[in-house]
Amino acid sequence: MKLSDSPVAAKSDDPEVIDTTFDRDIRDILSGMGLTEEVLLSAAMELYVPHPGIETKEKAEAVFRQELDVALSDPNLCILVYAGTLLEQAGKSGKLPNLSRDSYERDLTFLVCDEVLGMSIATYIAGHKGMFEYVRFDKLKPGIIKELGPFMDDVIAGLIGGVSSSMYTRAVV
């Protein structure tokens, strides 16, 4: 199942009223790291390819923004992204368990949990199609992605890849 297929039906144990207020928004956290919507959009558009339903870059930008809004309205996705921010901070300060600061900074090939997090984010947003876009963004590292640390490059590649995949998929639906 992917985010875009999520049923709206309530679970039997859900409360009748859900508190939708919160003190922290993932957009604010990302913005504080220099990862604004504009920066994410810019990186996404570096790999834009015309597609039925989104034949122009202007249309792609508008649809990408809509899909990003959908994705970042899901608390589960926001918590996955937030986990990446915390892991990045812990890595920079040398506080990741069983991993030296040097190994973290060198992003050694045995460190795959960052890739797993990025793949999970992309797959959560767009299913298996999101995985293909994640790989494309992770490999080519457009825009801000190439400047990010070992965890955040994969988190943001997963976010942009998943949102891009949704953008392309829903454009033809």
* Residue 85 included in any domain: yes
Q: φ and ψ at 66, to 5 degrees?
A: -65, -45
Q: Quote the pLDDT of residue 171.
A: 79
Q: Quote the pLDDT of residue 2.
A: 61
Is residue 10 very low, low, confident or very high in pLDDT (cuts 50, 70, 90)? Answer: low
Alpha helices in 23-112 (DSSP H): 26-32, 37-46, 57-71, 75-92, 101-106
* Residue 127 included in any domain: yes
For residue 143, the 8-state DSSP code is G
* Residue 103 included in any domain: yes
Cα-based distances in Å from 163 to 109, 122, 132, 133, 170: 26, 8, 12, 9, 10
Provide the residue range defining the domain that includes 96.
Answer: 29-171
163, 127 contact by CB (below 8 A): no
* Residue 1 included in any domain: no
Tens digit of each residue's pLDDT (9 = 90 or more) over 78-112: 999 999 999 999 999 999 999 999 989 888 888 89
Tens digit of each residue's pLDDT (9 = 90 or more) over 37-66: 999 999 999 999 999 999 999 999 999 999
* Residue 18 included in any domain: no
Torsion region of 98: left, alpha or beta (phi above 0 gives left; psi -120 to 50 gives alpha): left
* Residue 107 included in any domain: yes
* Residue 142 included in any domain: yes
pTM of this prediction exceeds 0.75: yes
Number of domains in the chain: 1
* Residue 156 included in any domain: yes
149: domain CATH number is 1.10.3760.10
Radius of gyration of the chain (CA): 17
